[in-house]
Copies of this chain bind each other. A is one copy, B any other.
Amino acid sequence: MRMSTLFLRTLREDPVEAEVASHRLLVRAGYVRRAAPGIYTWLPLGLKVLRKVETVIREEMDAAGAQEVHFPALLPREPYEATNRWSDYGDGIFKLKDRKGADYLLAPTHEEMFTLLVKDLYSSYKDLPLSLYQIQTKYRDEARPRAGILRGREFTMKDSYSFDVDDAGLEASYERHRAAYIRIFARLGLEFVVVAAMSGAMGGSRSEEFLHPTVIGEDTFVRSPGGYAANVEAVTTLAPEPVPFDGLPAAHVEETPDTPTIDTLVAVSNERHPRADRPWTAADTLKNVLVVLRHPDGRREPLAVGVPGDREVDPKRLEAALSPAEVEPFEAADFARFPALVKGYIGPGVLGTENASGIRYLVDPRVVDGTAWVTGADAAGRHVYDLVAGRDFTPDGLVEAAEVKAGDPAPDGSGPLELARGIEIAHIFALGRRFAEALDLKVLDENGKQVVVTMGSYGVGVTRALACVAEGNHDEKGLVWPRELAPADVHVVATGKDPEILLAAERISAELLAQGVDVLFDDRPKVSPGVKFKDAELVGVPTILVVGKGLAEGVVELRDRRSGDAEQVPVADAVARVSAVVRG
């Protein structure tokens, strides 16, 4: 690769829409270019890195005994209809019709097709276990494509699927994939945390995410000192023990003028209705939040969610808990349809399918029988005190929707949780039999009996992992690639106008190439040394060899991009020295 002809233009300015470093630098250094919102073109340098990431993944999947296949991206509706995902995905997938009016989709993931393929070819327990994978282009019609290739609408994914005859087999396949993923991310030099996750639209018994911890992450996860880790959607609440009703005071309604918020309610309660033992706090109140669920079939259902007043409803946790329904705001027009709802003073008295509003009412797991709450009395300026769950009101069910806070106890008793942010780079699912049942994938077992196959599905975001590597390997000057992923082994920079310099740099580059060292050679004749150095730092090849004015004294300069360290090397030793460095 010669910079004089390489299809590359580095940019000095950040692209206006770029919010995160990987996006900014991959565009500025000429690795990718935006083609449409969330849709990117790979330029020569970017494609080289992408192929190297794919190679790492391919090698580890092969080593784990998975076999590579390649499915189409354009797929017919029917298999996705059979598993309900055609509708469950909602607006999240691209749908289209062919010239005959038949429905197709651009696949966001391929469980159905792999299931059908195995059904097509295999029929006996002797054929299993089987793991198949592909590295393939996926499509999701993201509402908010962002951060360059971190969250795109067309992206590369490695997805694999395991097929086993029984649960023990699935467990082994799951563990094999998990171990392979750990090796993959270690080789990519990518820090990661494995966290418990919700299975969501996938269903299944067990699911974990690999998160790359970073402040720009869209996902929040928790960790405890004792080793618990989960994304917030998957955190379960440690509910207190129920309290016997005996001796609990009766509920009583009080005047609480101008208290439409929890803060005002607590203040007025302490002022007008103080409790004897201690002041009221927000945790004593029960806040009732209204939302609308949009179900996959388009149906809109109002829903009330009750959480302790010291916590917000976390929209992601709520949505995960109610998936595949999506959560939308409860608008003024919705209020108009339910005259029983008194805004700011809504309480369990009117909520629930059996009560005046008829609105389904789900509460936080902390609202156990016998707990007493201050909550809306369904009349302006009034709240009810000592309203006891299970005695004075009965919700329609529980929901994990309250925000998780730092310091909350881990559900497994392993200590207080801390919160952090991360990017999902892989997700593994012990799917179980949902897809095999829906698509009738069975094999004969040892006794000649038909049994439903049990499956796992395992995905790595290939282009996203690349972006995370860039995110975690850069400084203010540009990218700093790990050696295994760099677009070249060494960046040879010829500086100065002396023709001898260019000749020497040519000769060194040719000798390196002959030794199998991949060279990016900056041979541009009319570009200043300053610009060349800036470009080399931006592009981020880990080793830079400068052939310049030192040549007159018989030396060249070997620079380490990451540390910035430079050493003078006799020109006669340059090739051997570079070879040794790039081979580690």
Bound-state CA distance A3–B153 (Å) is 38
Chain B residues whose CB sits within 8 angstroms of the CB of A76 once the complex forms: 35-36
Bound-state CA distance A73–B91 (Å) is 20
Does A275 sit within 8 A of B, measured CB to CB?
A: no
- Kindly provide the distance from the CB of A166 to the nearest chain B CB, expressed in whole angstroms: 18
**A74 x B153 contact (CB < 8 A):** yes
Does A393 sit within 8 A of B, measured CB to CB?
A: no
Chain B residues whose CB sits within 8 angstroms of the CB of A120 once the complex forms: 33
| B-facing residues in A16-72 (Cβ within 8 Å) | 30, 33, 35-36, 39-44, 47, 50, 65, 67-72
Bound-state CA distance A99–B144 (Å) is 11
Chain B residues whose CB sits within 8 angstroms of the CB of A39 once the complex forms: 72, 74-75
Interface size class, chain A: 35 or more
Asked, given contacts A36-B75, A96-B94, A130-B7, whether A41 binds B67 with beta carbons under 8 Å apart, the answer is no
**A70 x B99 contact (CB < 8 A):** no
Bound-state CA distance A50–B153 (Å) is 26
Asked, given contacts A73-B137, A154-B73, whether A41 binds B113 with beta carbons under 8 Å apart, the answer is yes
Most interface-central of A72, A76, A113, A121 (chain B CB within 10 A): A72
**B72 x A117 contact (CB < 8 A):** no
Kindly identify which residue among B42, B71, B99 contacts A91, using a CB–CB cutoff of 8 Å: B99
Beta-carbon contacts of A133-154 to B below 8 Å, as 1s and 0s? 0000101010100000000011
What residue of chain B has the Cβ atom nearest to residue A76's Cβ? Answer: B36
Does A132 sit within 8 A of B, measured CB to CB?
A: yes
Beta-carbon contacts of A70-98 to B below 8 Å, as 1s and 0s? 11111110000000000000010011101
Chain B residues whose CB sits within 8 angstroms of the CB of A335 once the complex forms: none
**A44 x B72 contact (CB < 8 A):** no
- Kindly provide the distance from the CB of A53 to the nearest chain B CB, expressed in whole angstroms: 13
Does A497 sit within 8 A of B, measured CB to CB?
A: no
Chain B residues whose CB sits within 8 angstroms of the CB of A130 once the complex forms: 7
- Kindly provide the distance from the CB of A79 to the nearest chain B CB, expressed in whole angstroms: 9
Among all A-B residue pairs, the 4 with the closest Cβ atoms: A96-B96, A42-B70, A91-B99, A9-B121
